[in-house]
Structure 1
Amino acid sequence: MNGPTTLWRTALLVESEWIEQVAQVVRLGPHLQGRVAIGVVVWVVFEQAICTEKPSVSACNQLGKQNEWSIVNIETLYAVVGRIFRTKRLEKFVEHFGVNGQTRILDVGGTPFNWTLLTVRPSVILVNISPIAATELEQVVADGCRLPFRDGEFDIVFSNSVIEHLYSLENQQRFAAECQRTGRMHYMQTPNKWFPVEPHYITLFIHWLPKRIRRRLVRHFSLRGWLTRPSQRQCDRMVEEIRLLTADELKGLFPASAIWPEKFLFLTKSFVVAKLKPDL
């Protein structure tokens, strides 16, 4: 068979059951199913593979639990499809920061998964507001906006797609200040507000609209809404929680840091904020 049918079967190799569920949810015919499947797979691949792996908790807030009626766990899917891309990104992190077995890293709002991808084994402490099960890494239960560590206690403070989940600019300012205070160097990654695809809702343009409109659209006009079937209360919480940042805002939060754009199709989809040299 040719055309969309072939593409459809190719997509099934990535996550057959999940793709079939997507087709059922949007109720498209067989010819459009192939296009939808490839579109979804392409999005999952280029979407920020690192920044979308989320623990059940994140610094400064408690992320909502997934709806029990959800038909797919999006974070799990990202972890499966994005492993190769995430590994490459972490290899660059190791290279730029000279990470080795003696490096002390504080991962604020993170999970153990990233650290299993490295060939080196730095000393990592995870900080979340609730403990994460089944990890050998040291954990500290704390608020990322009020870290219980000394100034400069860690070689690197690492944070991956957490700062946009803090509800307000004031919380983001406190979070940024704490990460800079406790780490001699730091690495932050976060989506770009002006990239047309919003990686949490998984849809186009909605994040540029006022909150009152977003609340009405997230459930029925986003891929995440179709797949996870959130309640209106969960949609409201997601809209309140997520505050994407611009390059200028990041420069204001991290004035001594480099801001590296991450590109897709010539557009900046995300930023890495990096301080590579400790203060003397």
Structure 2
Amino acid sequence: MSIDNDVYDRLGDGWWDEHNPLNLLHGSFTAGRFEYFRSILARDPDGLRVLDIGCGGGFLAEEFARLGCRVVGIDPSAVSIGTARRHAAGIDYLVAAGERLPLRDSAFDVAYCCDVLEHVTDLESVVAETARVLRPGGLYFFDTINRTLASKLVLIKVAQDWRLTRMIDTTLHVWDMFITPDELTAVLRRHGLRVDELTGLGPRRNKLGLVWDFVQTRRGRLTYGELSRRMDTGRVRGLQVSYMGFAIKA
């Protein structure tokens, strides 16, 4: 079974629509990630040059722009880039892939990949390009999915395979493409990026309530946006399903 990355073209005009499955990645996901990333920025972020690799509809790009950062967002989906451009001015959006960034060396203070690394077929190239465009001492924020039995149960079986709870009728994820923390740390190290911290990322809603919310969403009784908010996604203790962190360019 191959991953369906074309879904971001098919549904990419509705990233900001709460009834669109892609809006699940907003709500508490955007808030939880951004709260953590913002806590790492030790100084005033105003004027920082920030690169969003795999920006989708611009959820996180707009958060960094509100801080006063100069944001560039890239995504291989032209439909998603069109949506991001229409939703917010002042952000430079480009149709491009992480494996080949049309950007100069050492151009950014911060780069990040969220909901991206587990979708790419050439992780080494994406990380190498990210490292190339970061200045020495620059920060790399990331999150991805761990390859464990827990992630197979939650993100493959419950969220994708089971008819009563799956969020969308396509293959959003392939378990073999998930990345363990040790694997990601090794790849980052090979390209001059030193991991400083890893922490869990996940829903803080109780498990039974979460499964019920999935069922209700599948039945059309909850929007994807409301489901995301109810999940209360953010920093959690365990790395068994998803994790996030940051690295520093040597």
TM-score where L is the length of structure 2: 0.63
Q: Which structure has the larger Rg?
A: 1
Distance 1:195 1:103 in 2: 39
Question: Structure 1 120/172 Cα, relative in aligned 2: closer, same or farther at 3 Å?
Answer: same
Task: Tell me the amino acid that sits aligned with residue 103 of structure 2.
Answer: F
- Within the candidate set 84, 107, 117, 2:52 is matched to 107
- Give 1:143 deviation, angstroms: 1.6
User: Helix, strand or coil: the match of 1:100?
Assistant: coil
Task: Tell me the amino acid that sits aligned with residue 58 of structure 2.
Answer: P
| Greater RCO structure (CA 8 Å; 6+ sep) | 2
Task: Tell me the amino acid that sits aligned with residue 223 of structure 1.
Answer: T
Q: How many residues align?
A: 187
Consecutive unaligned residues of structure 2, counting only runs of 5 or more, are 12-18, 203-235
The structure with the largest strand share of the pair is 2
What does residue range 20-169 of structure 1 map to in structure 2 within 5 Å? 62-63=6-7, 65-66=10-11, 73-80=20-27, 82=28, 86-97=30-41, 98=43, 100-110=45-55, 111-117=57-63, 120-129=67-76, 130=78, 131-133=81-83, 134=86, 135-136=88-89, 137-167=91-121
The CA RMSD over aligned residues, in Å, is 3.1
What does residue range 128-277 of structure 1 map to in structure 2 within 5 Å? 128-129=75-76, 130=78, 131-133=81-83, 134=86, 135-136=88-89, 137-167=91-121, 171-184=122-135, 185=138, 186-194=140-148, 196-198=150-152, 200-201=155-156, 203=158, 218-220=160-162, 223-224=165-166, 227-228=167-168, 230=169, 234-235=170-171, 238=172, 243-255=177-189, 256-262=194-200, 266-268=237-239, 269-276=241-248
Question: Structure 1 194/241 Cα, relative in aligned 2: closer, same or farther at 3 Å?
Answer: closer
Distance 1:266 1:257 in 2: 18
TM-score where L is the length of structure 1: 0.57
Question: Structure 1 196/149 Cα, relative in aligned 2: closer, same or farther at 3 Å?
Answer: same
Distance 1:181 1:63 in 2: 29
